[in-house]
Amino acid sequence: MKVINSYNLVRLLLNILFTGLIFWAALDNNSGSEVALGHVLLYNLLLFVPGWVNNFVLLPKLRRDKKTGKYFLAIISTFFAGLLILGQYLHWLQTYYKTDDLSKFTPLGITSSAPGFLQDFQYFFDALPAIIILMIILVIGYVIREFLLKLKKEKHIQNEQTIAELNLLKSQISPHFLFNILNSLYSLSLKKSDETPAVILQLSDILRYSLYETQEREVPILDEVAIIDTYIAIEKIRIPATANVSFNHSGIDNSIKMAPMLLLPLIENAFKHGVDSTVGDSYIHASLAKSENRLVFTCENTFKVSKKSEVGGIGIQNVRKRLNLLYPSRHSFDIEKQENLFKITLKILL
């Protein structure tokens, strides 16, 4: 996975940087000293070996196998093997250069006192604190790296799940919408209207939009406005002349983008429940405007509650789910019902 590979690279670079800083400090301390640079660098390199073995071999193996007993056995063996080698090398350096000054060999010149019966092996206790310090620092780095990697992977999985859910919701739009506009076309065919061919062309524009534009995350808002105007024009052909339908979108320009097919299902719902289900005078008043940094859409319509269905079906449910995925914490979606009035208010923070 690319996420893991990038973190491994960062981890390697940070280890190189940290090692480089220790080496630089060692060389700076050694400036003007009789101790050979090669001996200094080798000593400081050996200080890192137990920590590197733990970070790059033992901890990843523990993470994979979950065998704690084997890990502790391996880390103890690695620690004492490193201490044995480093202590012997330090003893040789101290003998060769005739000095017990640990700072001549490493910037981590921290020492510890050996118990009385181990005084002859003081050089092991001189090397001990530096190994422990470096192992702890490297383990802390490993734990932080694993924590950040876990967060990154969880975010990646969450994004994949969101995309999958959005694709599922998008796939539901076209069949549902097709079902409704075919009903409209059927109504026109029953009337044997001369406008039927022109309406079929307009319906093809809407279908093309619902099939192809929904593949985009965002489209210019005027594209959504244009398709709503087309849909309203089609519906006006078949609805009663007494129905009052308006859609005001003045002041909207193409600099604003939004997810496609968010508003059209709301208009469609208004026609289904605001005109088709009512008798006598009915109306649909929709508006779209930009208010400061918010996009505000309202749609108010008359309706008559039916025993078979409730106002707001698949279309509104779909829109609500898509809003939660596309604009989490950036939108409000309110529905008001008052006797025979139904109003939707949608606000999206741009």
Condensed to tens digits (0 to 9), the pLDDT of residues 97-116 reads 888 777 777 777 677 777 87
- Tell whether 140 and 202 lie within a shared domain: no
Structural domain boundaries, residue 222? 193-349
What percentage of the chain reaches a pLDDT higher than 70?
80
- Tell whether 149 and 274 lie within a shared domain: no
> What residues contact 218, with CB distance under 8 A and at least 6 apart?
257, 258, 259, 260
Would you state the pLDDT for residue 292? 83
Condensed to tens digits (0 to 9), the pLDDT of residues 186-208 reads 766 777 767 777 777 887 887 78
Distance CA 215, CA 268 (A): 20
Helix axis angle, 314-326 relative to 264-274, nearest 10°?
Answer: 160
Would you state the pLDDT for residue 334? 94
- Tell whether 150 and 85 lie within a shared domain: yes
Q: How many CB atoms lie within 10 A of CB 264?
A: 23
150 vs 306, more confident? 150
- Tell whether 281 and 332 lie within a shared domain: yes
- Look at strands 219-220 and 244-248 and give their pairing: unpaired
Condensed to tens digits (0 to 9), the pLDDT of residues 12-47 reads 777 677 777 777 776 666 666 677 777 878 888 888
Q: Is residue 271 part of a domain?
A: yes
Q: Is residue 300 part of a domain?
A: yes
Report CA 36 to chain centroid distance, whole Å: 52
Distance CA 20, CA 9 (A): 16
- Distance from the first to the final alpha carbon of the chain: 33
Report CA 300 to chain centroid distance, whole Å: 36
Condensed to tens digits (0 to 9), the pLDDT of residues 246-275 reads 999 977 888 889 888 889 888 888 887 777
The pLDDT confidence band at residue 314, using thresholds 50, 70 and 90, is: low
Would you state the pLDDT for residue 1? 47
pTM of the shown model = 0.55
Q: Is residue 172 part of a domain?
A: no
Q: Is residue 187 part of a domain?
A: no
